[in-house]
Structure 1
Amino acid sequence: MSKTTHIFSYLVIIVLLAACNTQDNSNPSPNASGESPLTAEGDSDINVKGVKNVDVLNTHGSIEGLERMVRFYGNVKGEVPSDLRVVHYTIEGDPIVTDLSYNGEMIEVKNDTTRDNFGSGSITTNNCGKLIEEVNPTNTTYIATDCIGGFHGMEQILQVYYNMSEQDLFEFELKYGVNQENEINTKTNTLKKESSENGSQLSSDFRIAVDVKQEVYKSLVFANYLAEKDFITTCDTEDAMNYYLKVYINGGVREFQWSACDQSMDGLKFTEIGEYIIDQSEQEQQTQPEVTVQGYVLEKKDNELLIGQGLTMLDYEWIKDELQDINFNHYSFDFTVLEGVQTAEFNPGEKIIATIADKISGKKPGRAKVKEMKKIELQ
């Protein structure tokens, strides 16, 4: 696969291929006990044809069991031995299996492509020293590093992509309260609040800031909102908070209804999303929030820095090798030349976050003057 093709593969539209998911227990489990520890904790019901005990399933960007990836990462950081099985579907619907086994010191990464009818059909094993969680404004990526093999000693395990600006439309409508009497609607820009003290309050020019909407979109992706949900909608108490969330995404609509007493994983995630929206509706929204740039330094010269935004450490390695002949328009990433910085303090390969003094002008690459900038240390 070419470098450019690999990078573009991150941007496959999030879809559900439910037809790929059927039960089959023909394969051995990832550990000697016959059960994945993280699956056992999470009571996984992820079904993949030909694969047993799946912890995390990535169906072209729609990810089930993401909380187990997060938990495994936490175990590695805490030096707690743990196993994880991740499955990615190919475009054709074949499962690629990645088994991670951490013994408290090293991570064994085993990639099994034998079920891929269009691939190499091999099983490869790599030993790695660390697991990095790289968080960008539009993606979160888990990368095994300090590996014996792999591209620059790295292996990408999983990427979660959540760039709201890539969508033609993203709006939401939240109703909440005992009788769902309150409403926050970004599609109609209306805000309705009911209270015993102030009665009914209605605003028809309400606006949610773009960065807040981006955070809501990210949270929905992490909650795998495209999958079917089985929420609890009634509680034993009469004064329980009830929620209704309607999401407008491109030409489609997703609707969710649940109660605050739903303590399931999905219920807790969606209640957190609902409460975040409510909290933000009570805050003063910045119509013109500060513009920030986050990414890797690709080049520095003449008191300027060329930044690749949204790159992971793997993306940086691919792009830097092509920098002299690069056509920026062939990449989906944004590139920006930052002016007015002390370049001696920053070097290619370092990750930075910069606050822009005014705005970014032009594209591919854009240009901007920096107000302040600092390095980002990866964990």
Structure 2
Amino acid sequence: MFKKITSIVLITLLTVFISGCGLDKGVAGDQPTNSGQNKKPASNEVKEIHGMMENIERLNLFVEHVQSGKDDKVRLTRYTDEGDPIYHDLANHDSKLTIQIDTTEDKFGQGEVTTYVCKGIQKQESETETKYILEQCPDFTDLLTISYDVDKEDYFAFELKYGVGKQNVIDTKGQKLIKDLQNGETVTVSDFQFSKSEMNAIYKRMIFSNYLGEKKLSKECNQKPYKGYEMNVWINSGEQHFEWSECDKSNDGQEMNELVANILEILRKNSTYQTLPEVKAQYE
């Protein structure tokens, strides 16, 4: 009994000691791990968190402005595995592109601010990745590469239930597709599969929607009927669950609605889906 009590006391003291060290480190001026990752990016900021993107449209707009000769500036914040931010401040003025890279908050980085002058920037897209490349920029060329190749993951699958009563189902894990004909009937495909290119396109949209990030969604809706949504995503050994309604007008709700719209656009072009009967009625 005495040995058991002694072990508990030692574990408690060790926990307090470790916590105290963490507090002392914070006072010394180091940034807390994961600081800022859960904050929504500013309108002029793009975030890259372990391959997930937030506000990537702003970087695309910057590329367009540079290529058309319009002055603009944007910040790309990339987070290390330890949660430390590295800032990439890009500015285009009088047809001159500069990038300032700030690693002063990266505990394992060089801890310096470096500026490069470049000729321009271009965006290159393929079926498996999107690259942002700086042109004629000495010592720094690859700004950002976003990969969405499902073959590089150990496992990737998702299930999406959507529509009134969530009667429509896309289930790549169970290889099942259900279409609600909205007249009390449904039609089911029991061996449904997307092609690799379709899965890459869907995975791309999920990454651009930062599907691994924290989402605040609402299932409440005061209208009848209303469309509900439920999504499960399995990636490697992890799983994400989302549930919301069309009445969710928050930024997260709108982002998830856009993700669903993109998935359904890909689905409607699928050859198997195109063989299914048309919707026979409309919910009112």
TM class by shorter chain equals 0.7 to 0.9
Corresponding residue SS for 1:74: helix
Unaligned runs of 5+ in 1: 1-18, 24-43, 48-52, 287-379
Residue 195 (structure 1) aligned to one of 153, 175, 181: 181
Aligned equivalent of 1:228: 214
Please say if 1:212 is aligned against 2:198: yes
Question: Counterparts in 2 of 1:129-278, with a 5 A limit?
Answer: 129-147=119-137, 149-150=138-139, 154-197=140-183, 199-278=185-264
Higher RCO structure (Cα 8 Å, ≥6 apart): 2
Aligned equivalent of 1:45: 40
Distance in 1 separating the partners of 2:104 and 2:270:
54
Aligned equivalent of 1:354: none
Unaligned runs of 5+ in 2: 1-31, 273-284
Corresponding residue SS for 1:21: coil
Give TM-score, length-normalised by structure 2. Answer: 0.73
Aligned length: 239
Distance in 1 separating the partners of 2:85 and 2:115:
17
Q: Contact 1:83 / 1:99 at 8 angstroms: preserved in 2?
A: yes
What is the CA RMSD across the aligned residues, in angstroms?
A: 2.7
Question: Counterparts in 2 of 1:96-135, with a 5 A limit?
Answer: 96-135=86-125
Corresponding residue SS for 1:20: coil
Aligned equivalent of 2:49: 59
Q: Quote the sequence identity (%).
A: 33
Distance in 2 separating the partners of 1:62 and 1:281:
23
Corresponding residue SS for 2:224: coil
Offset at residue 218 of structure 1 (A): 0.8
Offset at residue 265 of structure 1 (A): 4.4
Offset at residue 104 of structure 1 (A): 4.4
Offset at residue 61 of structure 1 (A): 1.7
Offset at residue 247 of structure 1 (A): 0.9
Give TM-score, length-normalised by structure 1. Answer: 0.56
Report which stretch shifted further, 58-67 or 131-140: 58-67
- Which amino acid is the alignment partner of residue 213 of structure 2? A
Larger radius of gyration: 2
Aligned equivalent of 1:313: none
Per-residue CA deviations over 1:84-132 (Å, capped at 9, x if unaligned) read 1222233444332221111141111112223334333332211112111
Distance in 1 separating the partners of 2:186 and 2:105:
59
Q: Contact 1:207 / 1:285 at 8 angstroms: preserved in 2?
A: no
Corresponding residue SS for 2:58: helix
